Structure 1
Amino acid sequence: MSVSVESFLMDPHHDGTLQSRIRQMVAQGILSGRMRRGERMPSSRKLAAHLGVSRITVTLAYADLVADDYLRAEGRSGYFVSEGAPEPGDHPPARASGGDAVDWGRMLGHRPESVPMSLGKPRNWRDFRYPFVYGQADPTLFDHANWRGCMLQALGQKDFALMTDDNFDHDDPALVEYIARHTLPRRGILAAPDEILVTLGAQNALWLTAQLLLNQRRTAAIEDPGYPGLREILRQTRCRVVPVPVGAQGLEPARVPAGTDILFCTPSHHCPTGATLPLEARHALLHEAAARNTLIVEDDYEFEITHGRAPLPALKSLDREGRVIHVGSFSKSLFPGLRLGFLVGPAPFIREARALRATVLRHPPGLLQRAASHFLSLGYYDAMLRRLTRSFSQRRAVLLEAAQAEGLTIGGAVDVGGSSLWMRTPQGVSAETLARDLHEDSVLIEPGARFFDRPEEGDRYYRIAYSSITEERIPEGIARIARRLRSGNWT
């Protein structure tokens, strides 16, 4: 790889001769890591023309750098960054003058929660032999060939305008039609196109909803434990956030406090315990919401991953007053990197959500929307979903059998589907410590503290998912967790 000549800029305020300034510019580029060992440098002729200096000045600067082993010369091939050049970490790069003049602690109007969203899912999770990590795609279950074909079809001349045009606030009509005619009716929901908005996943849908409905004078109720990403979204609105305890069957309608303006919930598959809100409780929740004039935001999380039973109707399908806003996503069932979801609500709300989305990101990428619409409409999505459901059901059965054999304690729902189990450690055992120690055994689990309003209340809980680990590795992974728990070294 060659270093681009355009990456060289001469600082007019720097003291010294032209030769010394060029030498320092190259040395700093190597020390900062912008120029790496073995990369070809611009020729002296090109660099001289770019900087507006004589060629001999650049040649002399290069010669100094060769003498100091920053560069090496290879006959007529030119100059290259030397294999003996310092590594970027060996010497701290020079900092720009006045770089610390701004007090960012005072200038930032808001600082997002410092707890990383990827806790329990390090970037190198695939290097672990027993990755019980949630929300990642299994390449053995993904339909690579047909997705590739749909991407190629979306790249064709016929779809060129949909891929390349700035559609400002509009979505792919074929994708919206599929959501309206196929996805939503399966949840018992009937919606017109002006009641649907495509989003960058469920996270983006929740953000748009919170920004439109909440402010400092309003109160939002959330599940506890619950989705930690939502908690940070609500902090950004400066609203009052009230946690509502979750029972064995999910959110308890009677425990939603009076004065709640917006309730956020996951009735189809509670995050993270896996509980499913019973049908009678859904009706009770809608009754309470009507009596208190509360809006409900329903995150229809993992409804499609069921094991041997049909999913219950969505809360939105039971709503007769237009007070439920429905959030759906293809990211969990298709693949998380897709980042495609949707909002469903009354037309006035969707109109404002569309306008807000346009001010931030216009619309999700047209290429992805069109490729997804092809994948969905051609039936590939349904076929893959059936394959996922069968595989997850088998993996869940193996995991439950292994957990029972090893004496592990399940802290959440057992028989409702999904792609994970909510677990509890023995008394006195920190799940955070357990997760850290298991790294030595090539095992990944997700500590549960971050799901709680008060993290200390969740230190005995952890989540183990089976979407990213093969069936044959599950028993040994569970055995390694059990061995760590039996080791008794928790001081």
Structure 2
Amino acid sequence: MTHLNMIPMTWSRLYQETIDLGLNLQGRVCRMIFTAISTGFLKIGEPVPSSRFFAEHLGIARNTVIIAFQQLVTENILESRHRSGHFVHFDCHILYQTQQLNALNPNKQYDWSKRLSKKLSQQNNLIKPLDWENYPFPFIYGQHDPENFPAAAWRECSLKALATKNASLWAQDLTQQGDDMHLIQAIRQHILPTRGIFADENEILLTVGSQHALYMIADLLCHPDAVVGIENPCYPDAYNIFSMRTSNIRALDIDQDGIHPEQIQGCNYVYLTPSRHCPTGISMSAQRRTELLELAEKYDSIIIEDEYDAQISVQKNMLPSLKSLDHCGRVIYVGSLSKPLAPGLRLGYIVANTELIKELRFLRRLMLRHPNLFTQRVFAFFIEMGYYHSMLRRQHEAHLARTSFLIKTLNEHFPEWIVNSANGGSSCWVNTRNINTQSLAQQVKEHGVFIETGQAFFINSTIDHLCYLRMGVGSIEQSKIEEGIQRIAQCVAKFKSTKLST
């Protein structure tokens, strides 16, 4: 809708808000337009309604509006174009004007802090820069790699989904089922068997990514007295999600074979990333998987298995998932479809007992009905036509080559650092031993390098955890890795004596 035809009620409200500011009519018109720009009703370069429009709908003289317009033009808020009217000026300094507005209305904003039941912004979150693509050397994990996106194949599948017979399906609002059974079948036949899982249609639920899956599981199953065991270090958002439901979070220590299964005693739920531990990349040994399932039965624990990176990491010698070994229905399996392709597509799934899936489906209906049906249908074609597995093979080979080269380069420049990586995943977990990685991250940023510090992955993190890094390879070309590490080495050399206490 163009702002020339913006509903009169909106302008009337904005004008009415100026009534107690002690301004004359001309000033009130100026303030009304300031507010419209600062709140986004009017954007840079957009047309402003005519003086005749304002005069008619605000009940003031047209000359008053014209004088206000002239004042706004003088202040570079508006510009006048011959025979076209007035437009928001491209050099409009609206930030300054907004500050003026706030200064004149110090008590205008309501204090919401007293209403918040939780301040989620204060959780230990992973913060990634919005402009990470502008870094020449982005050692970032979990972001889209535009160079490897199969655009032609995705376009073909999108066009196929737009065909009339398919459009009639995804254009509906599927309030009850909510899942494209075409995609469910593709997951059953082409995705889950690679992890040794064979599930019925009613044992699979689609989600808006694996994080959405975890949120629903926690919301449906966890009560305030529940004890939830989580690996330490862990996926921070999983910890944040479960800690919203219960304060009884138990940190489960890991070694080179994963968690020690006996630690789950007393846990109602256990959240794990056994195939490729987040963030270290460690894979839980076969012996511990067997023992874990036995103890889960003994202690009446439910296991939530998150294979967030499994599709990227699949190798012939990769251990089967816990879900494939589960004969008692105690494992809830969470997977991601979109992470290896394009995380922004936000599509994942849960595999669990039919009764649980039924209740999760009704919970999902209350939240967002269902994931985007058009995306579901495109993904179904993308898998069914063989493009998905072809992409996974290419991506696995690329990540394996990049990771191997990254480890080699790190060992050459930093022989004292400990570098962990496994299963050809898309990141390395690095222990720098004595480097304050938060300080290092700020230093290398100035040289075009992005690195992700590791402290946020620890439950009850301390100063001892400042020395860790997670270095992703999914979004950096192999040819740039060496120069990126060289730039890090140059920064390290400048403050090599920096200890964790700084």
TM-score by structure 2 length?
Answer: 0.91
User: 1:423-462 alignment to 2 at 5 Å?
Assistant: 423-427=430-434, 429-456=435-462, 457-462=464-469
Please tell me the root mean square deviation across aligned C-alpha atoms, in Å.
Answer: 2.3
The one-letter amino acid paired with 1:152 is: L
2:355 corresponding residue in structure 1: 348
CA deviation after TM superposition for structure 1 residue 448, in Å: 0.4
Alignment match of 2:337 (pick from 330, 336, 339): 330
1:211 paired with 2:219, answer yes
Whether 1:199 and 2:207 are equivalent positions in the alignment is yes
Q: 2:257 aligns with which of 242, 246, 249?
A: 249
Deviation at 1:218, TM superposition (A): 1.0
Kept after mapping to 1: 8 A contact 2:51/2:65: yes
Uncovered stretches (5+) of structure 1, i.e. residues with no partner: none
Matches within 5 A, 1:119-158: 119=127, 121-158=128-165
Deviation at 1:168, TM superposition (A): 1.3
Q: 1:308 to 1:238 in 2, by over 3 A?
A: closer
**After alignment, is 209-218 or 299-308 more displaced?**
299-308
Q: Aligned residue for 1:172?
A: 180
> Equivalent residues in 2 for 1:366-381 (5 A)?
366-381=373-388
2:389 counterpart of 1:386: no
Shift of the 316–410 alpha-carbon distance from structure 1 to 2, 3 Å rule, reads farther
Correspondent of 1:237 among 228, 238, 245: 245
Summarize the Cα distance change of 1:12–1:295 in structure 2 as closer, same or farther, 3 Å threshold.
same
Check whether the contact 1:409–1:423 (CA below 8 A) recurs between aligned residues: no
Residue 3 (structure 1) shift: 4.1
Q: 3-state SS of the aligned residue for 2:73?
A: helix
Residue 16 of structure 2: aligned partner: 12
Contact kept, 8 Å, 2:286 with 2:319, in 1: the verdict is yes
Q: 1:52 to 1:379 in 2, by over 3 A?
A: farther
Does the residue aligned with 1:237 lie in a helix, a strand or coil?
A: coil
Q: Is the contact made by 2:429 and 2:471 (CA closer than 8 Å) also made in structure 1? A: yes
One-letter amino acid matched to 1:376: I
Amino acid at match of 2:116: L
Aligned to 2:491: 484
Q: Deviations over 1:16-50 (max 9, x none)?
A: 55544223211333456654554322222344445
Aligned to 2:475: 468
Greater shift, 183-192 or 468-477, is seen at 183-192
Question: 1:311: how far off?
Answer: 2.0
Q: CA offsets, 1:81-132, max 9 Å, x none?
A: 3456434246505246853454x3332112215257442x211111111100
Quote the Cα distance in structure 2 between the aligned partners of 1:194 and 1:341.
Answer: 16
**Matches of 2:430 and 2:60 in 1, distance apart?**
68
Provide the rounded CA distance (Å) in 1 between the counterparts of 2:366 and 2:40.
36
Report how far residue 347 of structure 1 moved.
0.6
Q: C-alpha distance in 2, partners of 1:374/1:83?
A: 45
Unaligned runs of 5+ in 2: none
Q: Work out whether 1:421 is the aligned partner of 2:428.
A: yes
- Provide the C-alpha distance between the structure 2 equivalents of 1:132 and 1:61, rounded to a whole number of angstroms: 52
Deviation at 1:5, TM superposition (A): 4.4
**Distance change (3 Å), C-alpha of 1:410 and 1:365:** farther
Q: Return the letter of the residue paired with 1:202.
A: S
When residues 355 and 471 of structure 1 are mapped into structure 2, their CA distance, relative to the original with a 3 A threshold, is: same
Q: Is the 8 A contact 1:329 1:340 kept in 2?
A: yes
**Aligned partner letter, 1:181:** Q
Superimposed CA distance per residue, residues 222-259 of structure 1 (whole angstroms, 9 cap, x where no aligned partner) = 00000000011012112411000111122221233x21
How many Å separate the matches in 2 of 1:165 and 1:153? Answer: 17
* Shift of residue 426, structure 1, vs aligned partner: 3.0
Would the aligned equivalents of 1:327 and 1:341 in 2 still touch at CA under 8 Å?
Answer: yes
Note closer, same or farther for the CA distance 1:86–1:146 as it changes in structure 2 (3 Å cut): same
Which one is further off, 123-132 or 29-38? 29-38
Question: 1:185: which partner in 2?
Answer: 193
Judge conservation of contact 1:155–1:163 (CA < 8 Å) in 2. no
**In 1: Cα distance, 2:490 partner to 2:345 partner:** 37
Q: Note if 1:99 corresponds to 2:108.
A: yes
Report what 1:262 is aligned to: 269
In 1, Cα distance between the equivalents of 2:387 and 2:482?
31
Matched length:
487
Paired residues of 2:279 and 2:470 also in contact (CA < 8 A): yes
Kept after mapping to 2: 8 A contact 1:451/1:458:
no
Percent identity, please.
36
Q: Secondary structure at the match of 2:16?
A: coil
Q: Aligned-pair distance for 1:390?
A: 1.3
Q: Which amino acid aligns with 2:189?
A: R
1:381-405 C-alpha deviation (Å, 9 max, x unpaired): 1111111111111112211211121
Residue type at the aligned position of 1:430: N
Deviation for aligned residue 1:464: 0.5
Bigger shift: residues 85-94 or 450-459: 85-94
Amino acid at match of 2:335: G
State the Cα distance separating 1:152 from its structure 2 match.
2.3
Who is 1:21 aligned against? 28
Distance 1:325 1:441, change over 3 A: same
* Counterpart Cα distance in 2 of 1:232 and 1:53: 54
8 Å CA contact retained: 2:34, 2:98: no
Q: What amino acid maps onto 1:249 in structure 2?
A: D
Distance 1:328 1:386 in 2: 18
With over 3 angstroms needed to count, the CA separation of the structure-2 counterparts of 1:81 and 1:474, relative to structure 1, is: same
- How far did residue 460 of structure 1 move? 1.1
Moved more, 172-181 or 75-84: 75-84
Question: How big is each residue's C-alpha offset from its partner over 1:264-323, in whole Å with a ceiling of 9 and x where there is no partner?
Answer: 000110000000011111101001111101110000131233386432111001001110
- Structure 2 distance, partners of 1:101, 1:308, is 55
Q: Compared with structure 1, are the counterparts of its residues 12 and 385 closer, same or farther at alpha carbon in structure 2 (3 Å cutoff)?
A: same
Which residue in the other structure is 2:410 paired with?
403
TM-score by length of 1: 0.92
